[in-house]
Amino acid sequence: MGYQSTHPGYTVRVDGIGLGRSRFAIQATVDYEPQLEGHERERVVSQAQMELVLAVVGEWERATRLGASNIRIAVLGDGQLDRFFRNWMNGQSPNGLGPRRSTAGAGRPQLQTRLTPE
């Protein structure tokens, strides 16, 4: 299961996969058309980033429904979003489902952002 969308200027793809009982990996990719420049590129990047974030949150929610307690996210093609998700675990997630620093979030899934073997 996943998400794929193609628009003028960019393509977004987000795939999630269970890696056992408690592990889940989400890989997101965004490809921008190389000829985009200036103001048009800024507009397209903003749209693509929002679409990608919403798709990742959807996969995150699916992972939590499936019982995942360890979720890894990687974003290819957009370093800004990759850093965003890498730092996501340091605070509250956009939809309230992500990890928290306080004990109020204890028992919630742990977010990791690298797809490396443990």
pLDDT single digits (tens) 59-105 = 999 999 999 988 899 999 999 999 888 887 555 444 555 554 434 44
Task: Assess if residue 117 is contained within a domain.
Answer: no
pLDDT given at position 98? 53
User: How deeply is 29 buried, as exposed, middle or buried, from its count of CB atoms within 10 A (0-12, 13-18, 19+)?
Assistant: middle
Task: Assess if residue 22 is contained within a domain.
Answer: yes
Q: Return the closest-CA partner of residue 2 out of 31, 30, 28.
A: 28
Q: Which one-letter amino acid corresponds to residue 89?
A: M
Task: Assess if residue 45 is contained within a domain.
Answer: yes
Domains in the chain: how many in total?
1
CA atoms within 13 A on the CB side of 115: 15
Task: Assess if residue 118 is contained within a domain.
Answer: no
103: domain range? 2-112
Task: Assess if residue 57 is contained within a domain.
Answer: yes
pLDDT given at position 31? 95
Task: Assess if residue 70 is contained within a domain.
Answer: yes
- Order the strands of the 2-7 sheet from edge to edge: 2-7, 10-18, 23-32, 70-76, 110-112
pTM of the model: 0.74
Task: Assess if residue 97 is contained within a domain.
Answer: yes
Task: Assess if residue 108 is contained within a domain.
Answer: yes
